[in-house]
């Protein structure tokens, strides 16, 4: 910790942040993973999803970090220029509500997202790093 403090005070902020991110990535602290890595599905909004399964990292951090635990669909990939990317969804997000209706898995999420109407906004609630957010999706 003292070395990190030294780096921060001597103007090496970029290096310190890179080190922290690399160390963080090595701990395997993903909060959700695919319940079945063979059961992913590409959806027409430009994303690939699977059933979200919480990890040990989430259960450990749930109360101390005031995070949320939800069932839903884990976004594993987002296509460049697709509706999902334009709206702001990212890989790692967990979709748990579409159009005001809770979704428990990728099948329900796909069904609800297939109902997007051209030119109308549909609110999609999701977790990012265990915290709730929402976006509005619109089919062009």
pLDDT at 14 over 90: no
Q: Give the pairing type, strands 131-138 and 101-102.
A: unpaired
- Are 62 and 103 part of one and the same domain? yes
Tokens of 5: 């403090």
**15 and 71 belong to one structural domain:** no
Which tens digits make up the pLDDT trace of 31-87? Answer: 999 999 889 999 999 999 999 999 999 999 999 999 999 999 999 999 999 999 999
pLDDT for the residue 25: 36
Are 21 and 57 contained in the same domain?
no
Find tokens 């990728």 and name the residue.
106
Domain housing 7: 1-28
Instruction: Assess whether 21 and 55 both reside in one domain.
Output: no
* Same domain, residue pair 24 and 38: no
- β-strands 94-98, 73-78: how paired? antiparallel
The total domain count for the chain is 2
94 and 59 within one domain: yes
- DSSP class of 135: E
Same domain, yes or no: 46 and 81: yes
Please report the pLDDT score of residue 58 as a whole number.
Answer: 96
Task: Quote the Cα angle for 73-77-81, to 5°.
Answer: 115
Same domain, 50 and 108: yes
Q: How far apart are CA 77 and CA 123, in angstroms?
A: 20
């Amino acid at each position: 910790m003292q070395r990190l403090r030294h780096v921060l005070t001597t103007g090496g902020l970029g290096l310190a942040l890179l080190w922290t991110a690399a160390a963080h990535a090595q701990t395997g602290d993903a909060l959700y993973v695919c319940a079945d890595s063979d059961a992913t599905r590409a959806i027409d909004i430009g994303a690939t999803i699977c059933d979200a399964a919480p990890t040990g990292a989430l259960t450990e951090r749930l109360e101390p970090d005031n995070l949320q635990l939800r069932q839903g669909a884990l976004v594993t990939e987002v296509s460049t220029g697709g509706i999902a990317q334009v709206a702001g969804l990212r890989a790692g997000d967990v979709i748990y509500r579409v159009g005001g209706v809770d979704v428990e898995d990728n099948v329900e999420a796909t069904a609800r997202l297939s109902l997007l109407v051209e030119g109308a906004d549909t609110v999609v609630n999701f977790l990012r790093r265990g915290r709730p957010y929402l976006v509005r999706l619109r089919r062009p």
